[in-house]
Structure 1
Amino acid sequence: MPQHYPFSAVVGSDDMALALILTAVSPSVGGVLIRGEKGTAKSTMVRALTGVLPPIDVVAGDRFSSAPTDRGSETPDGRIPADAPVEERPVRLVELPIGVSEDRITGSLHLESALSDGVTVFEPGLLARAHRGLLYVDEVNLLHDHVVDLLLDAAAMGRVTVERDGVSVDHAARFVLIGTMNPEEGELRPQLLDRFGLTVEVSAPRDPELRAEVVRRRIAFESDPTGFAAAFAADEAALADRIVAARELVARVPMSPWALSTIARVCAGFDVDGMRADIVTARTAAAHAAWQGRARITREDIRVAARMALPHRRRRAPFDAPGLDEDLLEKLLGDDDEPDPEPDGDPDTESTDHAETSDGQPSTDGAPEADAPRDADTADAAAPSAADDTRIGPGTDAHPDTELDTDRGTEESDTRTNATAPQRPDAEQGPDTVEEADPGDAAGAPGGVPPGTVASAADPYRTRLLSVAGTGHGAAGRRSRALTSSGRRIGSGDFTGSDLHLPATIRAAARWQAGRGRTGDRLGGRLLLAPEDLRSAVREGRESNLVLFCVDASGSMAARTRMEQVKTAILSLLLDAYRRRDTVGLVTFRGSGAQVALPPTSSVDIAATRLAELPAGGRTPLAEGLLATAEVLRIERVRDPRRRPLVVVVTDGRATHGPDALARSRAAAAGLASRGTTSVVVDCETGRFRMGLAVELAAQLGAEHVPLGEVTAEGLTDTVRARTHSRSPRNEVA
């Protein structure tokens, strides 16, 4: 029974198939990131790729997949004999689980040998197993930060270094990194994103006939896997042969001055960071030319390479969507004729059999031609539209204990956005400013805003840190204090199956040695261990939280520029939540009720999009908003009890909908406070005459009160300085 669905039997995923094939032709391209909605055969096609890859030669019995050319070199197991036998085996596909521990990735001390025999033996990890093969991470955007750091080191150096638990070894780890992800569940760290050579966007086909064919083939495979695989055996063999031929040809594809100049012009035109984009584009163009059976790079090869190598590398503002401007790409490619090949070139290498015919090639379902028409629904890069302006792009991580983002990826954006960050709202209000009336309070009141008004946000800015009180036990992140799997070691506890605390284990076992019959002098004899002696390290770090926004979108919030300021503040907090690996949700209230605009999700860009579309106007159903927030918290507590919530209520504190609106809002606030949830009230009231209702709401919630102008890190600093200055001894004497 075949283990995987045949590669050539996958329907409607041409871009994904081509990207995987080009990486197989030239592993130096650097791997593939596949982005797309769920149910689009991402994992199916990746697992099927090993079925069409040619086998590799390895040193027989070597745990590190050493090549025959490595004989005579050193590995953690010792020197490989010069006459070591060689064997052939298939390329491995090693899957990296989301919750994998650090010792399973890089390898660690073999505990049984160390504790029982006193011998230091290195146990290789998954990266050693993936050497000269494929390393596949499904839902790669959900990896913990410490796992991402290990992958970055290995991908950059091509080696794994282990310095832990008395083990000091290193070994080769060169692999093709393949990741799949659903963008709705969050984005990747930019450092890891840049390590993927190519990226493609996939979506389910919209053609009914194509969708029917997908279902038909899947049912046929599940009914008779062996017969289904046999039906595609010829296509699989032809595809494997074509990959082998392309691998042999790619080394003979020259990088002409014209090709280099065109690639450099395209990369510079899209303002990409660094030189990796140029290198990857050149390698991909050469691989595509070899795949098409050509011994020279054409404009079409560069076009295909740019569409896959540049979308995730171009410089973007924090909330810009990924993608390429197709018109700009065509302009940068130019329309001049391609130079003729050298007359003394080898005619055998100029064959265009694969490019002009389908002979020896599997069905177009699995091996697409680059110049075939592309389905608009599966295009891997689309020009950004105006609606994309509010989508969040890859950010960088702030240090968990500081408010300053110093990663390279955010220095420029922080400098740019801080220069244009909105001033404190009360500073912008003129002396004649009067708080505008809620349109629901008095029909036709001056300054009233029609219900449904949509305001846009300004550029986001760096915000102050909002965190949950106490110490939690949630997933590793960058916001609140917690006991996590990573961080500084502060003690030991019962053994959890990983992160063994060796000194604590020895101390726990030491007092029982005499009773267990250990003999010999103080320095002799073997340490006698029992399962109850094992201890795991207890580490304190930072956790991610559920940041749930409860946003007042009533008419009083829509007055003049207030909603723009509010949206800018929320957008800035969303960007901060993205950098700290939080889950976010959005509850809004206006008119006569509240709605969950966005259930809790890791996709901050979707939250930014929903925020941009948020209308304002009508009365203020504050009680309904707080009750809806409490219900979301109840559901999420059942779904993920370890993730602690942080509620951010953005309002001016008014309550104008329904009878006894103010009393009902107080009761709802008291109910929310009884849950012990950490809350923050962002006070949006501005102007000279203030009612102070948001301050009262914060007291009822037991929440921190933050004026809108103090959401920014700069605004908070200015306020603290002003208060400190006003309380200084000099001012008191004066």
Structure 2
Amino acid sequence: MRDGSNAPSIPAPTGSSDHFPFTAVVGADDLALALVLTAVSPEVGGVLVRGEKGTAKSTMVRGLAAVLPHQSVVTACRFGCAPGDTAACPDGPHDTDAPAHTRPARLVELPIGATEDRVVGSLDLERALARGETAYQPGLLAAANRGILYVDEVNLLHDHLVDLLLDAAAMGRNTVERDGVSVAHPARVVLVGTMNPEEGELRPQLLDRFGLTVEVAAPRDPCPRAEVVRRRLAFDADPAAFAARFDDDQQALRARIDEARARVRQVRLTDAVLTRVATVCAGFEVDGLRADIVTARAAVAHAAWAGRTHVTLADVRAAARLALPHRRRRNPFDSPGLDEALLDELLGDDEPDPGTDPDPGTDPGGRGPEQGTGGDGESDAAPTDGGTTGQRTDTEHSREPQPAGRVDGTSGPSGAAAPETPTRSSVDTDPADAPSTAGPAAGNGAGSDGIAAPATQPYAARLLRAKGIGHGEAGRRSAALTTTGRRVGSTSARTGPVHLPATIRAAASRGVHDRTAGASGRLRVTAGDLRRSVLQGREANLVLLCVDASGSMAARKRLEAVTAAVLSLLLDAYRRRDKVGLVTFRGSGAELALPPTGSVEVAVRRLQGLPHGGRTPLAEGLVTAYETVRIERLRDPSRRALLVVVTDGRATSGPDALGRAARAASHLRHEGVESVVLDCESGRFRMGLAARLAEQLGAEHLPVDELAASAIVGATRAATGRAA
């Protein structure tokens, strides 16, 4: 396996003036602190950055590599190991006197469209076909060893790749068993992901695997906003000169991180403080014990960063604010954030006795440990004001714009108030595995102002699928040919995993007709013989909800049932990685209340503010739904749409309302739009209009009380009992 010539192509180190300096970013102190803590102690487990667009998420992550200490690397090692590294390496063992060179820490970016073999590595096809050798071609995990692996828009990355990355980051090794290759190599990476929640959420299981999380938002104060623009314009005008202004700050921060790394092994975590950590995690009712471990590691790293050799409650508080918010979310309807009043109550006021500590350490900037954290529990952040390596003095605050956020736990990230969240939840069910019992704030049906409010908790909905075999992005709903799944055939395409038996058959078939092929007595395999596997799995769809919000649906009981059904469909779409859209119709028209998005949170907010009442413009609702599907087909032709019409089937708006609705339904059917009609008609005497609409659409007709998966189970058991 030893072959230095096969090193993967690596992006250039990010320490040049091409990237905005880390210390020049205004505000975002929580994000700076989280990144620094993972740089001090990679065992913390990486950082997930959530925030709206244009908040310097990627800028800060890319700038972090430039302030990381340089590394000594064995010259002949494809995996970037250090001389004397005892970790098992395919290119090792590495002696302490092995030829080495020094390089900047690397930041390797993982494109969201990357394939699994590019991430973990695979068989070197060139050597296999040309020389008949089984050789391993390292992937991005090998390139990022001892550095940062950055995934922008991590919420859009395929789930199986996210699982793979998080496992490798947690274990510190990457194990490859594929294409005749069996190899394990070091993969000690700091995993950093950024995402915009409006484009979809990560599953709670994946959220839990990130060590720390930070919510960022743009400052609302004009002063820091103006300073952000001023610095950006200066950087764009002359990147080299701008970077030179902050070179001293960058060097100082690099030295401080280096000293904190050396100190972190000396930091003492007493049993009393560890008990406080466990008390905090238990008080917030987080699942599992990973939260306790991460909080303890982050507190140790924070103490080392602050220049101490023992952990204090200020360190625990700073660690908990970064390690716990995303672990409290049990379903997508839960708001992110942390109840800081509860955190203070659980921590208490009395500082545990750290015991004798002969040398509490000094701050890299010349300050003592008391100056590293404020007396009220404030903690240092990485420099984000461009001129200091710690907190600024009052004088500096008076003449410079305020940073966008603090890291003392008194405000939310980037200066935003901490999100309002319930103090403690009694829900223990994981939404990825079982029905959720927690949802948006429940009400009592429609309010007096004509706004629909969710009144019933969502439930596990039965699986609604598009017919046939699609070719969309991997997901969990409808059958499709995707990048993951079971092998159903082979193709000569250039992408996908190698289908070895089909490749051999193609080479053998060609050899029968090639008289020169058998001269050597061996089977010759050429690039033209290569075959790739065709995999069948499941795809993600566009689930477009077309909801009747007219007066005929506004009866209290019926509205509660409709709201619960729509919430259940949204929750099901979240679990199956679908995009969702919401069309509503009432009065004399219809509107696209929610353009297709991956964010179920946004969909729920729109549903909570849904007005209702008036006549029923069913035809207009169907036409708007068709236009939405048509536009989405142009944007993403491979993603199939599943239209769910939630109605009682009445049409009362405009002349020939039923006739126009029938023509709109026939048009949808002619255009091949897969549909389901969720029949919300109730009462003893029913007109059957929804069933007729389903026939016109060529859709499945489903009464609303049969949407719940439990209704199917109950009906099956009843039928089984009668048969017995």
TM-score, normalising length: structure 1: 0.87
- Match of 1:235, SS state, is helix
1:277 positional shift: 1.1
**Structure 1 residue 530: deviation in Å?**
4.6
Q: Deviations over 1:671-717 (max 9, x none)?
A: 11111111000000111111111111111111100001100011123
Q: Does 1:209 align with 2:223?
A: yes
In 1, the alpha carbon distance for the partners of 2:349 and 2:373 equals 22
The AA in structure 2 aligned to 1:169 is V
Alignment of 1:231-630 (within 5 A): 231-314=245-328, 316-317=330-331, 319-336=333-350, 338-339=351-352, 342=355, 345-346=358-359, 348-349=361-362, 351-352=368-369, 355=372, 362=383, 364=385, 369=391, 378=414, 382-385=418-421, 397=432, 405=433, 410=434, 414=436, 452-513=450-511, 518=516, 520=518, 524-525=521-522, 527-531=524-528, 533-630=529-626
CA RMSD, 1 decimal: 3.0
Residue 480 of structure 1: how far off its partner (Å): 0.5
For residues 448 and 249 of structure 1, the distance between their equivalents in structure 2, rounded to whole angstroms, comes to 59
Contact kept in structure 1, 2:451 and 2:611, CA below 8 Å: yes
Instruction: Write the mapping of 1:162-177 to structure 2, written as runs, cut at 5 A.
Output: 162-177=176-191
- Rounded to whole Å, the distance in 1 between the matches of 2:446 and 2:25 is 57
1:670 aligns with: 666
Matched, 1:45 2:52: no
2: CA distance, partners of 1:448 / 1:574: 20
Among residues 55, 64, 75, which one is paired with 2:79 in the alignment?
64
Kept in 1: contact 2:500–2:531 (CA 8 A): yes
C-alpha deviation, 1:110, in angstroms: 0.6
DSSP-derived class of the 1:194 partner? helix
Contact 1:653 1:694 in 2 (8 A): yes
Comparing 451-460 and 262-271, the one that deviates more:
451-460
Q: Deviations over 1:121-158 (max 9, x none)?
A: 11111111111111111111111122123223313332
The answer for unaligned runs of 5 or more in structure 1 is 398-404, 422-446
- The residue aligned with 1:14 is 29
Deviation at 1:78, TM superposition (A): 5.7
Partner SS state of residue 68, structure 1: coil
* Aligned partner (choices 202, 207, 217) of residue 193 of structure 1: 207
Give, in angstroms, the shift of residue 668 of structure 1. Answer: 1.3
Asked if 1 retains the 8 angstrom alpha-carbon contact of 2:33 and 2:407, the reply is: no
- Residue identity matched to 1:707: P
TM-score, normalising length: structure 2? 0.88
Residues 239, 360 of structure 1: 8 Å contact kept: no
- Taking a change above 3 Å as real, the CA distance of residues 145 and 113 of structure 1, as seen in their structure-2 partners, is same
What is the Cα deviation at residue 198 of structure 1? 0.6
Q: 1:368, CA displacement in angstroms?
A: 5.8
Q: 1:43 to 1:95 in 2, by over 3 A?
A: same
The amino acid that maps onto 2:575 is: R
Hey, what's the Cα distance between the residues in 2 that align with 1:448 and 1:332?
A: 39
1:100 and 1:279 map into 2 onto residues whose CA distance is: 31
What CA deviation, in whole Å up to 9, does each residue of 1:308-331 have, x standing for no partner?
000011263552112111211111
Distance between the aligned counterparts of 1:626 and 1:305, measured in 2? 51
Partner residue of 2:686?
690
Match of 2:632 in 1: 636
Q: Is 1:661 the equivalent of 2:663?
A: no
Moved over 6 A (4+): 356-361, 392-395, 447-451, 723-726
Contact 1:187–1:393 (CA<8 Å) still a contact in 2?
Answer: no
Q: Secondary structure at the match of 2:469?
A: coil
Give the equivalent residue in structure 1 for 2:46.
31
**Alignment counterpart, residue 97 of structure 1, candidates 108, 111, 133:** 111
Report the secondary structure of 2:73's partner residue: strand
Tell me how far apart the structure 2 counterparts of residues 669 and 613 of structure 1 sit (CA, whole Å).
Answer: 28
Conserved 8 A contact 1:448-1:555: no
> C-alpha distance in 2, partners of 1:257/1:373?
24
- 8 Å CA contact 1:323–1:381 kept in 2: the answer is no
- 1-structure distance, mates of 2:720, 2:282: 49
Unaligned runs of 5+ in 2: 1-15, 392-405
Per the alignment, residue 114 of structure 1 pairs with 128
Tell me, in whole angstroms, the C-alpha distance in 2 between the residues paired with 1:694 and 1:451: 28
Question: 1:501 Cα shift?
Answer: 2.1
**Is the alpha carbon distance of 1:340 and 1:541 closer, same or farther for their aligned partners in structure 2, counting shifts above 3 Å?**
closer
Secondary structure of 2:206's aligned partner: helix
Deviation at 1:649, TM superposition (A): 0.3
Change (3 A) 1:298 1:688: same
CA distance in structure 2 between the partners assigned to 1:252 and 1:165 by the alignment: 44
Maintained 8 Å contact 1:487/1:541: yes
The equivalent residue for 1:434 is none
Identity level (%): 61
Shift of residue 362, structure 1, vs aligned partner: 4.7
Give the AA of the match of 1:223: A
Q: In 1, distance between residues paired with 2:451 and 2:132?
A: 73
Does the 8 Å contact 2:158/2:474 carry over to 1? Answer: yes
1:73-92 correspondence runs (5 A): 74-77=88-91, 79-80=93-94, 83-92=97-106
Task: Confirm whether residue 219 of structure 1 aligns to residue 217 of structure 2.
Answer: no
Q: For residue 74 of structure 1, report the CA deviation from its aligned partner.
A: 4.9
- Residue in 2 that maps onto 1:441: none
Q: SS at 1:551's partner residue? A: strand
- Amino acid in structure 1 at the alignment position of 2:526: L
Secondary structure in 1 matching 2:295: helix
Distance 1:514 1:321 in 2: 65
Could you tell me how far apart the structure 1 residues matched to 2:672 and 2:354 are? 74
Cα drift, residue 258 of structure 1: 2.9
Contact kept in structure 1, 2:84 and 2:94, CA below 8 Å: no
Residue range with higher mean Cα deviation, 19-28 or 348-357: 348-357
Map of 2:161 onto structure 1 = 147
Contact 1:31 / 1:178 at 8 angstroms: preserved in 2?
yes
**Cα distance 1:359–1:99, how it changes in 2: closer, same or farther (>3 A)?**
closer
Pick which of 147-156 and 629-638 moved more: 147-156
- The answer to whether the Cα contact below 8 Å between 1:76 and 1:122 also exists between their aligned partners in 2 is no
Structure 1 Cα separation of the partners of residues 596 and 619 of structure 2: 21
| 1:639 maps to amino acid | R
